[in-house]
């Protein structure tokens, strides 16, 4: 299932005002957070807030997820049970943070299946997003990516990851002082991208915490978008438009991709040629595969064609 996830908004489950405001923001996905954004003494109330917000609705047009607490805590199992029993029919995905091993995803898959059967929900409908936040999780990324048919995305969690490898910076998403050549995050981002694509998953970049520095957000988002990431977490309305723009193909690229697909289909089926010219460009099976990627992202982003293929022209 291809869901558009250009912008993925984090919403604290302990803040009813933020939960209400999030409904009106033009994001592709909103996740209601029970983990880092919620203080320990507010966890139980946050669960109730999240279930109520899901049941009230108003999330039309968005993928709706809940981030539960990680498996090392005492809250994780109740997060899953109470949220899914209370509002599983209104839920698209659960986000599991700090995933280090494929068995953690298997645990969540198994528990979800049990609850779905007990509640009469369609088994397997609720997806899983696995957040990779430390060195062990990155080393095990391939196994994690292949651990469950429910898995839809891998998500990079930069803050905890930077701490786990002792990176010498306090600014999440920025280059560490002294690292003057290259990109300190390139290996991490590419490693997650390879694991995700190997298993036909989406891959999402984590947040940029300097929420009013839109230029900094754009710089970080442009980097992961260029690599092929599907989207980025946003923490503030100021970041939403930038994410939606940077993780959508430009209109001219989308139009070109659709033209390539139409032309390739025409030339291979009507004229029975394996390669042909479209304007000044030769197109073949490799061209079709590249065009499929851009076209799929454009369609998921809601872009509309402004050109059409004419074999005579």
7 contacts 231 by C-beta, under 8 angstroms = yes
CA-only gyration radius of the chain, Å: 21
Burial call 278-291: b when 16+ CB within 10 Å, e when fewer? beeeebeeebbeeb
Average pLDDT for residues 229-249, to the nearest whole number?
A: 96
> How many Cα atoms within 13 Å fall on the side-chain side of residue 173?
24
Please check the confidence at residue 126 and state whether its pLDDT lies above 90: yes
pLDDT in tens, 21-32: 999 999 999 999
pLDDT score recorded for residue 174: 81
Mean confidence (pLDDT) of the chain: 94
The rounded distance, in Å, linking the Cα atoms of 155 and 206 is: 7
Long-range contacts of 18-22 (CB under 8 A, 24+ apart): 19/49, 19/50, 19/53, 20/53
- Specify which residues 151 forms β-bridges with: 128
CA dihedral 19, 25, 30, 34 (to 10 degrees): -30
Average pLDDT over residues 215-242: 96
Percent of the chain as helix, strand, coil, to the nearest 5: 45, 15, 40
**31, 268 Cβ separation under 8 angstroms:** no
DSSP-assigned letters across all residues of 147-212: S-TTEEEEEE-HHHHHHHTT-S-SSTTSPPTT--SS-TTHHHHHHHHHHHHHTT-EEEE---S-TT
Percent of all residues in the chain with a pLDDT value above 90, rounded to a whole number: 82
Express each pLDDT in 155-195 by its tens digit.
999 999 999 999 988 778 788 888 878 899 999 999 999 99
DSSP string over 221-270: HHHHHHHT--EEEESSHHHHHHHHHHTS--HHHHHHHHHHHHHHHHHHHT
pLDDT, average across residues 148-154:
98
With contact defined as beta carbons under 8 Å apart, do 84 and 113 qualify?
no
pLDDT tens string 36-93: 999 999 999 999 999 999 999 999 999 999 999 999 999 999 999 999 999 999 999 9
pLDDT at 1: 52
Question: Whole-angstrom Cα distance, residue 206 to residue 289?
Answer: 28
Residue 2, pLDDT score = 74
What would the two tokens of residue 25 be?
């923001």
The answer to whether residues 152 and 93 touch, using CB atoms and an 8 Å cutoff, is: yes
Crossing angle for the helix pair 76-87 and 102-119, nearest 10 degrees? 30
pTM for this structure?
0.91
pLDDT for res 233: 98
pLDDT on residue 87: 98
Return all residues near 13 (Cβ < 8 A) that are at least 6 apart: 19, 32, 33, 34, 37, 38, 46, 47, 49, 50, 53, 66
């Amino acid at each position: 299932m291809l869901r558009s996830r250009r912008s993925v908004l984090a919403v604290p489950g302990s803040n009813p005002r933020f939960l209400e405001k999030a409904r009106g923001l033009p994001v592709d996905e909103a996740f209601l957070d029970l983990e880092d954004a919620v203080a320990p003494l507010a966890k139980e109330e946050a669960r109730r807030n999240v279930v109520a917000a899901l049941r009230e609705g108003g999330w039309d047009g968005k993928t709706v997820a809940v981030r539960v607490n990680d498996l090392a805590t005492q809250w994780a199992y109740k997060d899953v049970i109470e949220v899914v029993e209370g509002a599983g029919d209104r839920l698209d995905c659960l986000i599991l943070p700090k995933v280090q091993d494929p068995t953690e995803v298997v645990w969540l898959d198994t528990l979800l299946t049990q609850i779905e059967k007990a509640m009469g929900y369609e088994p397997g409908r609720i997806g899983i997003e696995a957040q990779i936040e430390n060195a062990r999780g990155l080393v095990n990324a391939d196994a994690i990516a292949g651990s469950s048919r429910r898995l839809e995305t891998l998500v990079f969690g930069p803050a905890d990851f930077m701490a786990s490898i002792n990176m010498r910076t306090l600014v999440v998403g920025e280059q560490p002082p002294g690292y003057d050549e290259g990109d300190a995050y390139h290996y991490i981002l590419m490693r997650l991208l390879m694991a995700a694509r190997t298993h036909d998953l989406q891959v999402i970049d984590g947040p940029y915490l300097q929420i009013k520095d839109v230029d900094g957000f754009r710089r970080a988002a442009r980097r992961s978008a260029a690599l092929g990431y599907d989207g980025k977490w946003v923490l503030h309305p100021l970041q939403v438009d930038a994410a939606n723009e940077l993780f959508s193909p430009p209109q001219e690229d989308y139009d070109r991709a659709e033209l390539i697909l139409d032309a390739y289909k025409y030339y291979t089926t009507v004229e029975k040629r394996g390669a042909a010219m479209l304007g000044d460009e030769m197109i073949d099976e490799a061209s079709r595969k590249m065009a499929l990627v851009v076209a799929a992202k454009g369609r998921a982003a809601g872009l509309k064609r402004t050109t059409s293929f004419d074999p005579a022209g």
